[in-house]
Structures are given as C-alpha cells and as structure tokens.
Amino acid sequence: MSEVDLSSELAEARRRLDELEALVEISPVAIVVMDADERVAGWNPAAVQLFGYSLQEALGRPIDDLVLNEDLRGEGRVVTREARERGRADRITRRMRKDGKPVDVQMMLVSLRADGGHVGFYAIYHDITELQRARVHAETLLAVTKVLGKTLSLEETFETILDELQRVVPYDSSSIQVIHGNRLVIVAERGLEDLGGLMGVAFDLDDETNLNSRVVRSKRQQVFADVSQNPHFASQEHGGGRIRGWICAPMIIGDRVIGVLSIDKFEPDFYTEELAELATAFAAQAATAIENARLLETERAARQQAETLRAAAESLGSTLGM
C-alpha cells in the first residue's frame, strides 16, 4: 500500500471518528466509554444529565463508583462478566444518580476489543423511569378498579375508596366530598380526627373563594405544592396551616360531577401534576363505585318497600277475609 493510500485511509478513519464523536455528543441517551480497568474515558452530555456528574467529575473514575450502590454492585459484576464473555449484555435495571436517587434504565454494555484483546467497554443507558412509573401506576389502577368493582354498600364503598387511594396517592389526611343540592358535603374522612372530625361539614358551591367548589365548576383537578397560606387551609377549623401539599380531584360520571376527593400532605412540595393526574384517574373509578353503590341501595330500598307493601296487602286481605 502506498503512502498516499495509507494517508487517505487514515484521513477517512479520522473523519468517521469525528462523525461518531459528534453523534455521541448529541445523542439523547447516555453513552459512557470505559477503559480496560472500567474507568470512565468518555461521558457524553446525556450522561451528565442522567447521572448528575460533570465530565470532569466522571473522567478517570471507576464506573461502579459512579452509578452503583452497595446493593447493586453484585448485579453490576454479573452484567460486566456477561459482556466480557459474550461480547454484550442487555438489561432493564436500576442505577444511581449523584444525588443518591435511583433511576430505572434500559442498558446495553458492549466489550471493546482490539487485536484480539479486551480494551474496554462502552455502555448505553436509556432512562425509562417514567415508563416504569407509568406501568406501575397502570397496574395499581387496574387492581384498584377490581376492588372498587365489587358489590358494596355505600358506607363500605367510601371506606374502600379511602383504603385504595392510599395505595395510589400517598396522603396524611383525605376526605370524600359529595354534592347534595348546592353544597359539597364531607361524607367520609381519614386523618382528620384530631380536628374533631369534619364529617358532615359542607361547602357552598357558589363560594368562588373555595378551592373545592372551583374544582366542581371547572371539572378539573387542582394541585398545590404548598396550600398552607390559603385562607381556607390557614383557618384553625381546617388545621391552621398544617396541610401543605394538596390535591383536589373531581369525581365525574359522564359529564356530571358528583363530588371531589380532597387529598392532603403535611409536607410541602410532595404533590406534582403527575400525581394529580393519577388522583383524577382514581377519582373516575371512585365515582363509578359510588354511583353503583347508590343504585344498589336504591334498588334494595325499593325492593324492601315492595315487600313491605305486599306483606301489608296480604295482612289486610286476611283481615277482610279476601
């Protein structure tokens, strides 16, 4: 091969390498290159965003020290060994961020070889935290739907709703409020006992300052990271500002609002729009359960009334000798 040909091949190789490095830099997924000792040699911007370490912090450090805690190191060794032996390992697993928070990832670890020998690894991490969370939420809501679909009395339905709500959206206190006429009435509660209990307390739906009433009118949930300064929640009757995080989700049948779920947390910045959406999905199931329980109680009352009338008619007929 002539020097000209060799120079041309080297130039082409450098061009391809530059293109690859540019693609790595703009990739939306985290890409990490490691040497034979598993120390970081490449750390793209997506890796910075995913794991929280800057390029300067990551370079030269063992990858295990950056993304694995003690509980995950055993699994990390298995993945590394598989990649070295088979050339590649794929996993849906969990890794750790700099701030100590876990992140669900779909990862691929590939062994790099040159001249027949192992020279390092490259790893691709795709953040699937939201996907995993959505799956868990969907599975939870499905399980809740099955529970709420059981034939229960209205009182049992209220208790079951509050039980199952805790599985979906954690709370310190909560209440079910249903519409009676032009008022929103608390018919079931949890965690409000030290306030003397708020069972039967009603809110005027025409009161535009009341947040619950706004939810009924708008048919949309409201979520507050910190609601303690709102006059309603700041009042001693409603905890004197103890309630911080708050979600109010409408319970809707068709196009008709039958009430709301009021969900409270005693710490700020706990509730998010995502949890509010989840609470609203749960509230739709709760509304159906309440409506079914009402229909069942109406049917039972009608049946009991019919049986009472029939017994009275039979008694009257016997008395009259008919």
Backbone angles phi, psi at 279, to 5 degrees: -60, -35
pLDDT by residue (tens digit) across 5-23?
545 555 554 555 455 555 5
Strand partners, 178: 185, 259
How many Å apart are CA 119 and CA 125, to the nearest integer?
Answer: 20
User: What CATH number should be reported for the domain whose range is 132-309?
Assistant: 3.30.450.40
pLDDT of residue 192: 74
pLDDT by residue (tens digit) across 243-296?
999 999 999 988 899 999 999 999 999 999 988 988 998 898 888 888 888 776
Choose among 168, 205, 215: nearest CA to 185: 205
How many Å apart are CA 201 and CA 189, to the nearest integer?
Answer: 11
pLDDT of residue 318: 61
Spatial contact of 63 and 71, defined as CB atoms under 8 Å apart? no
The single-letter code of the amino acid at 270 is F
Categorize the per-residue pLDDT at 2 as very low, low, confident or very high, splitting at 50, 70 and 90.
Answer: low
Spatial contact of 83 and 120, defined as CB atoms under 8 Å apart? no
pLDDT of residue 131: 80
Equal fold, 3-127 vs 132-309: yes
Tell me the helices (H) and strands (E) count for the chain, helix number first: 10, 11
pLDDT by residue (tens digit) across 107-154?
999 998 887 788 889 899 999 888 877 776 667 666 666 766 676 788
**What integer is the mean pLDDT of 27-38?**
89
Contacts of 249 (CB under 8 A, 6+ apart): 215, 221, 260, 261, 263, 276, 279, 280, 282, 283
pLDDT by residue (tens digit) across 191-235?
876 655 677 888 889 888 889 999 999 999 999 999 988 888 887
pLDDT by residue (tens digit) across 143-190?
666 766 676 788 888 888 898 889 888 999 999 999 999 999 999 998
pLDDT by residue (tens digit) across 39-73?
999 899 999 999 999 999 999 999 999 999 999 99
Strand partners, 302: none
H or E element in which residue 93 lies: strand 88-96
Domain-wise residue ranges, the chain: 3-127, 132-309
Spatial contact of 154 and 297, defined as CB atoms under 8 Å apart? yes
How many Å apart are CA 308 and CA 71, to the nearest integer?
Answer: 67
Q: Does domain 3-127 have CATH number 3.40.309.10?
A: no
Choose among 93, 89, 73: nearest CA to 81: 89
